[in-house]
Chain A
């Protein structure tokens, strides 16, 4: 225990030195990060509070039930993201780390080393997700009139065990995966594991019974009632997100026996997960670490030139082709990269499962426009998240090897174009089918479909450009974990700007949608003026953002000193 305390103390000193560095550059950097983070959190808080929760609580009878479901959906996503984030962080921090190798050469037991590094991992893998969850939680607490005591009780008895359960699960999965990799290569293991995980989640989604939540029948909310009742996955009584949300509800309503039950469910799950992790780490961490070293020496030879030949067909110069090929091979050979992509795609599948239950025979036209707008905003949010998570780190991930590109005769603009096109192609392949599929599932008519599909195409271009530009301007070459790069000050700035942009796009889409709905309901003139004005504004916004991103990125690349 003394050793763990010593290690944590020095880790604390290290972080204190980074965070409270009084040099001019650090003060500016840390101050800007804090400011941007505060603006981001406040904006998100106002968004949830003013635009969603305050509005929804005004809906008679179903308002709070709807909030419960929204919170539950949000926390299900956070729980899955925490598991994946912890899985990746454990692989990066505990296994592919010089620090671990050095510490294993000192007289520290494997369990002590694991315990100290697990703390590190838990903080790193959860803080960014918790920051994302904070505005939603605070907005909820505000509309529910939480006092200081409720904040403290909810934090300790609900949120903390919720996070610990997810992080421990992720760590256990990572340990198991590395041990198994002695027999099966990581290349086969990770997709198999992720496939199994995906199959389990999907099976759970299809087979689980919805809770017996019944909203009193009301003709105006008939369709909505049906929609809410069909949210299968996110309201299952055996999921931690359900316990968390029900715990919050019980706390606010003063049902302390119920609160105790849900808190006990979360706490016992967290203790069980930690106990299992302790047992696994005690017996498996050192063998797993050795296995991870052996894996490198067992790597097979590669004579596959198919990728080179396929990429020869890409209509680009040899420099861009060389960069594309390198990026593709590095991505394919890094299981942690595509494991995360799979999990994000999985979240999209869950979204589509829920979308399947949205009633398409909505008679109130305004509900239809709200569903269209919510789908647009959700897609924008997913794209912004994907951009900061996968595109923003692309230049940083060149890492110590960036000198190869830095000393090669490649103009900054060409490097920017390669990073943009490779990112945008993937984005296009994910976002456009998603937009079309969502449109078809919601049985949207021509105008709604055109707005959704074209809006998402434009957002894909601009968000890719922004992520490449900010990634070039704020690289973290010393960092090899993409999730840490994404949560660096530059990453936070990127997500802030991207979400602000998505918000502007949503506002510019909402006006013509609202006018068009009014036209369908009340008749009158087709709203061609508002559609034209908003289209021009949208075009201006996107041209401005793309120009800004290209200028920022290419200037940073060209002027970078090493």
Chain B
């Protein structure tokens, strides 16, 4: 399988703290990949390095064959990004924001308008489309950001905690939407704390802990690496990241 994302020996330090150390990771084209790790383990640094918002101190990152550090525009034109916190321009309406994003990706106006109407219909936002975003709830803002990431038909969608703040109906709809666009060939890289969602949607996954990948592969591969015969991803995750040991202190 061709690689959509290839990270080779990446190390990133912030002062004396090493956020990511000698990281190796490959995500194939068309894969739905889950990226797991406790808070502060290096997930966001990995994601930012894929977009070119952080430069590795050592090693390199390739997205679609391009290095985001040296060729950020090529890389960014191929991806859609959903951050963990949906900060968007509050004074714009959702339609204006989506048109703004479409303009940045050089979409044709007719195509852009069609996609906006379709996406806002799918995300059940039609009644809100011409209202200013500053009056939206957190979940509504999350939907706007999600629509913006999908709008320009990216080859790779990078999601950082995409379901935070969504009501159960919206969360279901987002999961269905991601599954659908993945079936149409879009690669999805999803970082999440919601282990059940990762288990449900992702074909392969990796667990990062203290800046190093401690397990990678399908759920079965991970079980083998953790020497567990069965059980949920949550048990496996806790075992690999030392969570069970910490939980016993509570007792």
A→B interface (CB under 8 Å): 296-297, 299, 301-303, 308, 317-319, 321-323, 325-326, 329-330, 333-334, 399-401, 403-411, 558-562
Contacts and interface: CB of A to CB of B under 8 A. Distances in A.
A406 B103 contact: no
A561 B85 contact: no
Given A325-B100, A326-B89, A561-B55, A407 B81 contact: yes
30 contacts: A296-B132, A296-B135, A297-B135, A302-B132, A317-B106, A319-B104, A322-B99, A322-B104, A323-B100, A323-B103, A325-B99, A326-B96, A329-B92, A329-B96, A330-B89, A333-B132, A399-B87, A404-B88, A404-B100, A404-B101, A405-B104, A407-B81, A408-B76, A408-B104, A408-B105, A409-B73, A409-B105, A411-B73, A562-B48, A562-B54
A91 B149 CA distance: 33
Interface of B: 48, 51, 53-55, 72-77, 79, 81, 83, 85, 87-89, 91-93, 96, 99-107, 130-132, 134-135, 148
Contact of B103 (A301, A302, A321, A561): A321
A303 B85 contact: no
User: Chain A's interface: helix, strand, loop or mixed, by majority?
Assistant: helix
A326 B88 contact: no
A401 B100 CA distance: 13
A399 B130 CA distance: 23
Nearest to A24: B15
Listed residue (B48, B89, B104, B134) with the most chain A CB atoms within 10 angstroms of its CB? B104
Closest 6 CB pairs of A and B: A322-B103, A400-B87, A409-B77, A409-B76, A408-B104, A333-B91
A299 B76 contact: no
Nearest to A330: B91
Given A330-B92, A334-B91, A562-B48, A322 B53 contact: no
A299 B135 contact: yes
A405 B135 CA distance: 22
Nearest to A301: B130
A334 B81 CA distance: 28
B132 A403 contact: no
A407 B85 contact: no
Nearest to B132: A299
Contacts of B54: 561-562
A322 B105 CA distance: 10
Contacts of A561: 48, 53-55
A301 B91 contact: no
A396 to B, nearest CB: 14
Given A302-B96, A400-B87, 19 more contacts: A299-B134, A301-B93, A302-B130, A303-B130, A321-B103, A322-B100, A326-B89, A326-B100, A329-B96, A330-B92, A401-B88, A404-B148, A405-B104, A409-B72, A409-B73, A409-B75, A410-B104, A559-B55, A562-B48
